[in-house]
Chain A
Amino acid sequence: MNRRDFFRLASMAGAGISAAGLSGLVRAATPAQLGTVPTNTGIKGRVVVIGGGMAGATVAKYLRLWGGAGVLVTLVERETSYASNILSNLVLNGQRTMTSLQFGYTNLATRYGVGLVKGDVAAIDPVGHSVTLADGRKLPYDRLVVAPGIDFDTIPGLETAAAQAKVPHAWKAGTQTTVLRNQLLAMKPGGVFAMTIPAKPYRCPPGPYERACVVADWLKKNRPGSKVIVLDANPGITAEPLAFADAFNVVHRGVIDYRPGISINSIDASTMTLNTSAGNLQASVINAIPAHRAGKVVIDNGLANVSGRWAGVDVLTYQSTAAPGIHVIGDASATTQPKAGHIANQEAKICADAIVRLLAGRSPDPSPITNSACYSPITSDTASWLTAVFAYDPVSGSMQAVPAASGEATARSQDNYKEMFKWFNALMEDSFA
């Protein structure tokens, strides 16, 4: 990198930091247990990261920790903080607030020297190796990491903002999560809470079933006689089948009505009616989770070469199969792995390791392993868990689940519920702190 480039990038990053808010910059020293950026790796390069979710934040941090100070990392994000999807179902039953699920970017800047740029991406130039922002700023890169998460299809009938506010998905934690919480509070005893689950792949496989449980548990105690009707486009429960079958048939028996294999044709927000493949259904609250696709920046820049929805990647590096020099990690990529925060964190580490190796003229690790773990609340004080480990299979060129390491808890428990918060805190620290 020449001197001019360096100052251009540094000044842009500086501008981004001030935009992200400076109050957090004046804080206690970095805890000794967290890593420090080495200065002597000899590796140099400019990496731009688009999107500061679980994948984007982790890759930015680990590029600096493993690449060293010569790897200049700029994180482009439109929001000032990340709202965690994990645990956001607990906003619905009042156990968490949205404020408690916010994670800022100041640690990435002050502890690891990640440059922060607040803004929207207008275009990627894969030939000229630069990203242009909506305000005209241009960020040159040697490697680009795209981690925008997901976007949603529009369910027929829900085209307007008003209709979407009345029938929220709340599948991206934020305003809609609060809207759904308020709708629950406004329910009367004996009401119907209908939720719809899209066909795979969607974000957080156990998430919708977990939500059904959390809502049912709350309704039982607070709005007696109410029901949760779950309309699942999939032929059956897609994750933790034992835990959720037990939850639906035993723990929340008579409250949760689970109906698999039902797709949604349209929803009328004015009459609160769902038109489904099994007929019409009216409800007091409708929580419709639409089908997913990769975030807009992936679709707009020709990276969605798998069913026009997802970014095809080489899982040794997460480099796009559509454009060299561009890596796509997290929920936006098409892999055999689930779309979830824990595994996005691990994909980010593999991507960071690969980029550091590539910048040093080395080959990526030929046999990466990723892992996924999560806890699912079944009631307000019990939870289940699932785990999966994926190993690279050179024959298919894909990550394959190791069968012996993929499974779920034999029973829900209060210990699991307590461990859930330990897992969450540690995972968020690994990604954002």
Chain B
Amino acid sequence: MNREITRWRALLWLPVALASTCVAAQTTTAPPAGRLLASNCFQCHGYDGKSRIGFERLSGESSNEIYKELREMRAKSKPDIMDMHARGYTDAQMRLIADYLATQKSTSSTTAADVKTSKKSEKKESKS
């Protein structure tokens, strides 16, 4: 156990040690546009929209798909929770959110098939 603890501690701080020696000369890049706005989605749709236990997964969709869905939700006459939510964002903000989420590629364990399955089960569940 003690050896394990030491190993974990060392691993934990490895990135910090690397960073503090390697990056001194680098200049920083600006945060991606739309990231902070899109983070309003993460509470329910997972980090960068890569939901695994929450609501519909957003990463893997195109910017136009996300933008279109948000605009459709905003226009619904009998709004559900997400439809109501969508009314809080302007077209320009929706576009920024959609563009950011669309750049968050599916990870190795998140295949296109997974995304489809997840969406299907999501729809099924919301009807039940």
Contacts and interface: CB of A to CB of B under 8 A. Distances in A.
Interface of A: 1, 6, 10, 13-14, 17-18, 22, 25-26, 31-35, 37, 39-44, 62, 65-66, 68-70, 72, 109-110, 113, 342, 345-346, 349-350, 353, 356-357, 360-362, 365, 368-371, 373, 385, 387-391, 402, 404-407, 409-410, 415, 418-419, 422-423, 425-427, 429-430
Given A32-B109, A33-B107, A66-B31, A39 B88 contact: no
A40 B26 contact: yes
Given A18-B5, A426-B44, A426-B55, A33 B50 contact: yes
B43 A17 contact: no
A280 B89 CA distance: 49
A361 B28 CA distance: 9
B19 A1 contact: no
Interface in B23-43: 23, 26-31, 35-37, 39-40, 42-43
B87 A31 contact: no
Nearest to A362: B30
B9 to A, nearest CB: 5
A426 B29 contact: no
Given A25-B8, A33-B107, A66-B35, 8 more contacts: A17-B9, A32-B109, A70-B19, A110-B8, A385-B81, A404-B87, A410-B78, A422-B54
B84 to A, nearest CB: 5
B46 A426 contact: yes
B16 A371 contact: no
A389 B88 contact: yes
A371 B107 contact: no
A230 to B, nearest CB: 26
Given A43-B28, A369-B89, A426-B51, A31 B12 contact: no
B87 A389 contact: yes
B110 A32 contact: yes
A426 B54 contact: yes
8 contacts: A22-B8, A39-B22, A350-B36, A356-B31, A371-B85, A404-B87, A407-B84, A410-B78
Interface in B66-116: 78-79, 81, 84-89, 93, 107-110
Given A389-B89, A402-B87, A425 B53 contact: yes
B12 A110 contact: yes
B20 A371 contact: no
A69 B36 contact: no
- Kindly name the residue among B36, B42, B50 whose own CB sees the greatest number of chain A CB atoms within 10 A: B36
B117 interface: no
Given A32-B107, A37-B15, A69-B16, A345 B43 contact: yes
Contacts of A70: 16, 19-20, 23
A427 B43 contact: yes
Contact of A33 (B30, B52, B125): B52
Contact of A346 (B28, B39, B86): B39
B13 A113 contact: yes
Given A41-B29, A369-B89, A346 B43 contact: yes
Contacts of B1: 22
A127 to B, nearest CB: 26
A258 B54 CA distance: 35
A44 B48 CA distance: 23
Nearest to A429: B53
Contacts of A409: 81
The 4 closest A-B pairs by CB, nearest first: A389-B88, A426-B54, A405-B88, A42-B26
A7 to B, nearest CB: 10
A360 B15 contact: no
Contacts of A388: 88
A360 B86 CA distance: 32
B54 A353 contact: no
Given A113-B16, A346-B39, A405 B85 contact: yes
Given A42-B28, A407-B84, A370 B13 contact: no
- Kindly name the residue among A18, A350, A430 whose own CB sees the greatest number of chain B CB atoms within 10 A: A430
A389 B85 CA distance: 7
Contacts of A389: 40, 85, 87-89
- Kindly name the residue among A34, A41, A349, A387 whose own CB sees the greatest number of chain B CB atoms within 10 A: A387
A68 B9 CA distance: 18
A157 to B, nearest CB: 40
B20 A407 contact: no
A21 B111 CA distance: 35
A369 B88 contact: yes
Contact of B43 (A66, A356, A430): A430
